[in-house]
Amino acid sequence: MDGPNFDPRVDDKVYVENGLFKITNVVPCIDNYRTTGFYCWVDLEDPITGFKREHIPVALESLKYVDDEVRKVRRIIEWLETSPDGRKYPDYIEDYEVRAEDDHAGNPSIYVRFLVDPDYVFKNGKASEENVAALNAFLYEVQQTLLGFNLNHWTYVQAGQGQGQARKVLDAAS
Amino acid sequence: MCRQAKAKAKRGRCSMPLAEELLEHARFLASLDEQTASQANIRRAISAAYYAAFHLLSAAVAEQVSPDFPAGLRESTQRVLSHSQMFNVAKAFSQKGQNEVRGLPKGFVLPEPISAELASISNSFKNLQDARHAADYDVLRKFDPVDGISYVQEAEKVFKDWETEKHSKNAPVFLAALIFGKDWNK
């Protein structure tokens, strides 16, 4: 994959003529639609009334997404999960959260929080400096990647504690 | 280290050792509860980690813009620095490879592209300040030991990167921006 896939997807929410719709189908015109940036149509449905609008012709750039910046950041992380360009997505990352909110200074911001296996961070009850340094280097690289996409929000990339393999096994057994 | 700091303070030197002391304090707090989650210790560790980075950079600014004689002049200059101003400058310097940075004097271009170290320092400063606010004021937020350790080591990296970056051509511009940035284009 060359870069993140920002294509419309089923369940994405978009505004069309001031109404909010959910995409229920995406139909590309041609095989290499990603290089042309043009879609033939999408089918939409009003999530409240169920009203359907089908075969809406759409160019890639013209869809106005709900939470577009969060959607973009999620797609960028999905892309990073494929370990593109030789960049390894760490296996100690259990999950991630993406949320939009103002930072402490009131700047519209997006927070990405990677949940890390605590067994990776703590070895024999002590934090492993080497592993935490690797974790922080990964967070920094993600931050730099996000900055490269000229998002309209400030971005914060953080680490949080995941469940850990041992705890997962216990949970599964109980 | 504490004795050194006191001795230097008496002689009217800059408060760089305070930054190191705060970093050590942050390390100590973050290591108290590695597998439990004492909110007080983790929150204070994050706060101390931010202030360590803040004092490291603000002391470097004061050293650049003010002589240390008469005694107390440099320390008073350091007091002028504003957290919000430094936050905005850190954001502006957070992308590596950039030559043009918002907030510099009109038409001014950096002597060299932003290095990985300077971008890392700036990113970390911005992250740490935001985390410090959450740690000190957001009682809804729950911090875990990984938060504490990660932020403290981020502050440690600021110190390490600054050792390299302070000799760069961009360093004087970055430091000047931290104190004068908002007034350059008034």
- Mapped to the 3 state alphabet, what secondary structure does A12-81 carry? CEEEECCEEEEEEEEECCCCCHHHHCEEEEEEEECCCCCCEEEEEEEEHHHCEECCHHHHHHHHHHHHHH
Q: Do B147 and A121 touch (CB under 8 A)?
A: no
Between chains, do B34 and A122 touch, taking CB under 8 Å as contact? yes
Nearest to A126 among B34, B95, B134 (CB): B34
- Measured in degrees and rounded to the nearest 5, phi and psi for residue A98 equal -125, 125
The Cα–Cα gap between B68 and B83 comes to 23
- Contact residues, chain A to chain B, C-beta under 8 Å: 103-105, 116, 118, 121-122, 125-127, 129, 132-133, 135-136, 139-140, 143-144, 147-148, 154, 156-161
**Single-letter code of the amino acid located at A104:** H
Residue A126, H or E segment: strand A126-127
Distance CA A55, CA A58 (A): 9
**Which residues, other chains included, contact A167 with Cβ-Cβ below 8 Å and sequence gap of 6+?**
none
pLDDT band at B156 (very low <50, low <70, confident <90, very high): very high
> Which of A102, A136, A141 should be substituted to probe chain B, the one whose Cβ sees the most B Cβ atoms within 10 Å?
A136
Q: Which residue of A has its CA nearest to B122?
A: A140
Testing the interface with B: which of A111, A119, A143 to mutate, by most B Cβ within 10 A?
Answer: A143
Pick the closest to residue A136 from B137, B24, B121 (CA basis).
Answer: B121
Mean of all residue pLDDT scores within chain A: 87
pLDDT reported for residue A38: 62
pLDDT tens for A47-98 read 999 999 888 877 756 778 888 889 999 999 999 999 998 889 999 999 999 9
Chain A residue whose CA is closest to B129: A104
More confident residue, A139 or A26: A139
Q: What is the pTM of this model?
A: 0.86
The helix/strand/coil state of A93 is strand
Task: Judge whether residue B1 has pLDDT over 50.
Answer: no
Q: Is residue B58 less than 8 Å (CB to CB) from chain A? A: no
* Interatomic CA distance for residues A136 and B150, integer angstroms: 7
